[in-house]
Structure 1
Amino acid sequence: MHIAYKFRIYPNPEQQILITKTLGACRFIWNQMLSDKIAHYESTKEMLYNTPARYKEAFSFLNEVDSLALANRQLHLERAFKSFFSKQTSFPNFQARKKDYGYTTNIVNGNIKVLDGFIKLPKLGLVKLKKHRHIPEDYKLRSVTVSKSKTGKYYISILLDYETVISPCEVKTTIGLDFDMTNFYVDSEGNRYAYPESILLDQQKLRRLQSSLSRRYQPNKKQKDQSKNYFKQQHKVAILHERITNKRLDFLHKLSDSIAKTSDSVSIETLDLKQMATSNKHYAKQISRFGWYKFITLLEYKLNRLGKTLVKIDKWYPSSKMCSRCGHLKTELKLSERIYSCEHCRQNMDRDYNAAVNIRNKGLELLKVENLA
């Protein structure tokens, strides 16, 4: 199995320059190869299989950076085309300078080593590393990815291989989760988990900073020719964006980890959040803030690592319209009706709690497990 550890690194000025050059070279090789592929296909209707080595003679600066970083960028481009032809993603886009895509390099003949307080990297040599967590000795290093945030911080993600035997876990405890637009989710036990208030306060502050940034923008000038005050404010916005992202990720990691440890199976509904976002501006803001898809991704891999199961219920399953006690199905249920009142068994309960119970019961049905409630 694979696992990745992310650490912060502190390169010296010379190393920072080389990292910037490598990021630029990787972006250049992606755009150049993509452009040549498009032009070749338009003229011959055939796919061009080009490599970074073809461009090194014409563009000598490519020789200054790690060759494996360029080779990995080629593999990423080929993978993007395969995903496009299999209709999984859209056509590959050109990469912009303002966005950091990082660069990946592989271990060859001991060119990468994690030492005490340092990491040895190709071309860069020893780079100061803040190793805040232990890496088991039996884990084998596979590759590293170097990236730079918009606030000027440098990070490295270390991909490791390890061997383990995962035994399927017997389902003794289970839970159903229903996405809640007001909070975060409601579970089948009736608990509501609200989003951290500190993140909501930071988002209000972000709104004020962005408004201030917008006032500093001079439309008659290019982006690079804006005033110093504009770039200072832009840096403040980037710092707050990063803080919100880190807080959100910390919240999602801790919450998904807690659920994975306490439940043998988790059932969720595969909602079409993009469609929900387009139907209402308020929904779009809430969905983008919460990071529900990220939460599901984290929860799934943590459950699988423990031999547990994440059950995804079809989005057309009428979890909100069905009574969790008798199974009676309502033909119509307005969004404003927050209490589910069953006409058949006279049960009255919170709408989201009722949906979470139905999701849990459907998950048990798909797992062919008797209801544990």
Structure 2
Amino acid sequence: MKARYQYRFYPTDQQKQNLARLFGCVRVVYNDALAICKQSEKKPKSAELQKIVITQAKKTEARAWLSEVSNIPLQQSVADLETAFKNFFDSCKGKRKGRKVGYPKFKKRTNSQSARLTRGGFSIKGGGVYLAKIGTVKPIWSRELPSPPSSVTIIKDCANRYFLSFVVEIEPVQIDAEHISIGIDMGIKTFAVMSNGEKAFIPSYKNLDRKVRKWQRKLARQLKDSNRRNKTRVQIAKLHNKIADTRKDFLHKLSTKIVNENQVIVLEDLNVSGMVKNRKLARAISQQGWYEFRVLCEAKSEKLGREFRVISRWEPTSQVCADCGFKWGKVDLSIRSVLCLNCGTEQDRDFNAARNINKVGIGHCHDSKRTQRQSKTTPVASVDEVSRITALLGR
């Protein structure tokens, strides 16, 4: 299986100029090819596009500077456009799973820049990496590469940070797990409640989020294409990267711990796109990273030989007692614990849902005969409310 290993590097001033030239050439070739596709009745093939936007364009005065960079990333840019169109067509025909993929868009100078080199365009020599017509850069090797990389992508993000992303081939590793299975219920205040009783809390982004909104108000008042506006844009990008890096670090550590300790990992399929339509919870939901956590668990499960399962979003995990299977119906989100009227057990809402997710994931379905109930559920009763519950039970 393939995996990505990413390392940060700090280029010299001359290398920054060479990289800026490379990113500009890759961006222009991509945009020229996309413009030709938009003007054509039938989309040209990748070989035809490469001939027009690279080979023939180098002979003109307007694009003669394309010869100053390596030809490999320019060809890969056209190949990336071909992949973008394939994803768009497959999405329109229903062959691609997930959210609909839109029509390819033009690349912008202010967005994240990237260029991909295959084996002919780079080589690893000692502690440095030689890039064609760029020079030798020295990344920070935080970990060793498991195998020789097949390609490397040079990335410059919106905060002017530089990265090398290698694609390598890795072999699955078999490690014995401590536990058989685990069910995970995702939430907002508590990021994850697990069926073994553990809870995981995501770091708070309130202070960083407040700074982002402050700088964005400042950005809105500044003139477009001005130096001050560009500085403010970079400052906002740095804050967003800090939030993203903090979240990614948390998700990686949590997913690694869960996958290492359990043989079967069970999650619930969440309708995140529908949940963010609630304007009161949209910001909090968007900052959780539920789907990213799911992707990490799935990838690491494949690497370690674990079983990763996702149950249907329509399973009534919050409406059924995990001990006796009694269905009490829908419960308002403000109610965090429920007293089961059948077995008398006080169930924590999230922990009960995590146990039900684990049961459904390993094949134990809810008993439909015991889950039928006409009346609505009630919150956990206090001592002076015993009569109300006994009245509901018909005693």
TM-score for both structures, normalised by structure 2: 0.82
Q: Could you say which residue in structure 2 is the equivalent of 1:15?
A: 15
Deviations 1:95-148 (A, max 9, x none): 22211241111002xx42223332111111212322222224xx1220000011
Question: Is residue 207 of structure 2 the alignment partner of residue 208 of structure 1?
Answer: no
Backbone CA RMSD of aligned residues: 2.3
Q: Could you say which residue in structure 1 is the equivalent of 2:289?
A: 291
Q: Could you say which residue in structure 1 is the equivalent of 2:150?
A: 142
- Report 1:1-373 matches (<5 A): 1-41=1-41, 46-49=42-45, 50-56=48-54, 57-58=56-57, 59-87=63-91, 88=96, 89-108=101-120, 111-136=121-146, 139-162=147-170, 164=171, 172-197=179-204, 199-214=205-220, 217-218=221-222, 221=223, 223-225=224-226, 228=228, 230-278=229-277, 280-365=278-363
Deviations 1:123-177 (A, max 9, x none): 11212322222224xx122000001122222111111124x35569789421111
Q: Any conservation in 2 of the 1:169–1:307 contact (CA below 8 Å)? A: no
CA distance in 1, matches of 2:81, 2:364: 38
Secondary structure in 1 matching 2:342: coil
Deviations 1:293-321 (A, max 9, x none): 11111111111111001110111111111
TM-score for both structures, normalised by structure 1: 0.86
Q: Gaps (5+ residues) in structure 2?
A: 58-62, 366-395
Q: Gaps (5+ residues) in structure 1?
A: 368-373
CA distance in 2, matches of 1:101, 1:366: 49
- Cα gap change, 1:293/1:365 in structure 2, threshold over 3 Å: closer, same or farther? same
Q: Any conservation in 1 of the 2:188–2:288 contact (CA below 8 Å)? A: no
Q: Could you say which residue in structure 1 is the equivalent of 2:60?
A: none
How many aligned positions are there? Answer: 349
- Cα gap change, 1:190/1:282 in structure 2, threshold over 3 Å: closer, same or farther? farther
Paired AA for residue 22 in structure 1: L
Once the two structures are overlaid, the 10-residue window that deviates more, 290-299 or 343-352, is: 343-352
Q: CA deviation at 1:245?
A: 1.6
Q: Any conservation in 2 of the 1:324–1:358 contact (CA below 8 Å)? A: yes
Q: Any conservation in 2 of the 1:7–1:129 contact (CA below 8 Å)? A: yes
Q: Any conservation in 1 of the 2:173–2:305 contact (CA below 8 Å)? A: yes
Q: Could you say which residue in structure 2 is the equivalent of 1:370?
A: none
Paired AA for residue 92 in structure 1: P
Secondary structure in 2 matching 1:102: strand
CA distance in 1, matches of 2:178, 2:257: 17
Secondary structure in 1 matching 2:322: coil
Secondary structure in 1 matching 2:214: helix
Q: Could you say which residue in structure 1 is the equivalent of 2:381?
A: none
CA distance in 2, matches of 1:202, 1:165: 38
